Structure 1
Amino acid sequence: MIQIKILPFNPFQCNCYVLWVETKEAIIVDPSFSSEQEYQVIAKLLQSEGLSLKGVYNTHCHFDHCFGAPFLKEHHQMDYAAHKDGIQFTENATKQAAVYGMQIAEILPPQIFIDEGESIKFGNSELEILNTPGHADGSLCFVSHSDKFVITGDVLFRESIGRTDLPTGDLDVLLASINNKLFQLPGDFVVYPGHGPQSSIAHEQANNPFLHFGEVH
């Protein structure tokens, strides 16, 4: 069984997920910790649970989801994995952050590329990778069929959807990703989003005000 710890970090309260299994092998999804103090929360969790970090994966490469890359490189000699189409966002991260009045260091690009049709394996567990563009090119979702959850990044939130007014955002493409990929999952699957509280597929199908059989209303 996969254990999950949700840790909101940085001014955008971006959810960082630490997942681990009985073998104590762990992965991080969306390393959003933006300071040494925030990184120490991760370090103390790994130490207290006796975890061995095996990989780091990003749902997409917007800067608020990638802040932790330098800390992982420094403390674990570890690169993060993401879809290759996300590199453009790491290249423009400082300009994008400036739009929000933030001055940030350059964001390290992913060095490992992943895509739909592959899976993330740690211990005896695995996550299926879904390609779900619309919020941003290179957006991915990670599905555990055995533990019945999906990590959706900024594609689907509790009673909301990802914004589409940023570069490469496309509402029609986003709705197709949600309806054709995420809403094909069973209703009892838990939704773990990039920001905010968790939900479920059934709850979003019934209550998301932005979605109704693929139509916006």
Structure 2
Amino acid sequence: MRKTAPPMLTIKKFPFNPLQENTYVVYNEQSDCLIVDPGCYFENERNELKQFIEKNGLRAKYLLNTHGHFDHVFGDQFVFTTWGLKPHLHETEKPVFDMALMAAQRWDMSFEPYSGDIIFLREYDTIRLGTDQLTVLFTPGHSPGHISFYCKEQNFVLSGDVLFRDSIGRTDLPGGDFNQLSESIRTRLYVLPDETIVYSGHGPETRIGYEKQHNPFVLG
């Protein structure tokens, strides 16, 4: 008898806005999806996100933010208006989230910030999408309340701006701390299996094992 393949999550990446931030739509075979760090800044980017979800018949269930920097939350209000989803983030990240518009204006950018209720996540909380689940990892250092989302069953982590291929998130922004970021990477990410795929907030995917051996900022 042929074994039935386990259900799989599919990850779609959208490099959005002038900072080329990676927005992710993660969806299952039952057509439920979650949106991670919607960085859609321009109208065509908002349309692209909406059309992808609609054309694939997806039902948007969650809005997740790894952190509150403006390039990762440009689209939070749009997602709320379109699908009624409230942002999920760590409570200690709220001051950064609240300052996103002011920070964007320093880059001569402006947007409509989300101003409604927020759902706060804690480390090791579980985000369930049908039978699939993501675990919240607390990974501060790039920002005070940064979190990552880990799927053990499919060996991937959505790391936001903590870990990149051959690089790490910057720590010279308000609330950043290099030592804290290094600790987050070593104790929360480098303990994951080497084959774990890292979907970063900018740039290409990488793997935990590769970064442990080659990342010049934090070696395993």
Alignment match, 1:3: 10
SS at match of 2:101: helix
Structure 2 unaligned blocks of 5 or more: 1-7
Q: Is the 8 A contact 1:31 1:68 kept in 2?
A: yes
Measured on the aligned residues, the alpha-carbon RMSD in Å equals 1.3
Using a 3 Å threshold, how does the CA distance of structure 1 residues 46 and 104 change in structure 2: closer, same or farther? Answer: closer
Using a 3 Å threshold, how does the CA distance of structure 1 residues 110 and 169 change in structure 2: closer, same or farther? Answer: farther
Offset of residue 186 of structure 1 = 0.5
Task: Tell me which of 22, 39, 50 is aligned to 2:29.
Answer: 22
Segments of 4+ in structure 1 off by > 4 A?
none
Alignment match, 1:88: 95
Larger mean CA deviation between 96-105 and 30-39 belongs to: 96-105
CA distance in structure 2 between the aligned counterparts of 1:22 and 1:97, rounded to whole angstroms: 37
CA distance in structure 1 between the aligned counterparts of 2:117 and 2:159, rounded to whole angstroms: 19
Deviations 1:62-82 (A, max 9, x none): 111001112112211221111
Deviations 1:161-196 (A, max 9, x none): 010011110011000000011000000000000000
1:160 aligns with 2:170: no
Alignment match, 1:192: 199
Percent identical residues = 39
Alignment match, 2:140: 133
SS at match of 1:12: coil
Whichever residue aligns with residue 180 of structure 1, its letter is T
Offset of residue 4 of structure 1 = 0.4
1:181 aligns with 2:188: yes
Q: Is the 8 A contact 2:67 2:97 kept in 1?
A: no
1:61 aligns with 2:68: yes
CA distance in structure 1 between the aligned counterparts of 2:75 and 2:65, rounded to whole angstroms: 11
Whichever residue aligns with residue 203 of structure 2, its letter is G
Alignment match, 2:118: 111
Using a 3 Å threshold, how does the CA distance of structure 1 residues 56 and 106 change in structure 2: closer, same or farther? Answer: closer
CA distance in structure 2 between the aligned counterparts of 1:105 and 1:118, rounded to whole angstroms: 29
Alignment match, 1:71: 78
Offset of residue 145 of structure 1 = 0.6
Alignment match, 1:49: 56
Report the TM-score, using the length of structure 1 for normalisation: 0.94
Deviations 1:119-165 (A, max 9, x none): 11001100011000000011001001111001100000010001001
Whichever residue aligns with residue 32 of structure 1, its letter is G
Q: Is the 8 A contact 1:80 1:112 kept in 2?
A: yes
Offset of residue 105 of structure 1 = 3.8
Offset of residue 25 of structure 1 = 0.7
Alignment size in residue pairs = 213
CA distance in structure 2 between the aligned counterparts of 1:104 and 1:76, rounded to whole angstroms: 19
CA distance in structure 2 between the aligned counterparts of 1:91 and 1:77, rounded to whole angstroms: 20
Structure 1 unaligned blocks of 5 or more: none
SS at match of 2:210: helix
Offset of residue 107 of structure 1 = 4.6
Q: Is the 8 A contact 2:155 2:197 kept in 1?
A: yes
Whichever residue aligns with residue 190 of structure 2, its letter is F
Whichever residue aligns with residue 41 of structure 1, its letter is E
Deviations 1:38-64 (A, max 9, x none): 111111111221111111101111111
Offset of residue 110 of structure 1 = 5.9
Whichever residue aligns with residue 56 of structure 1, its letter is L
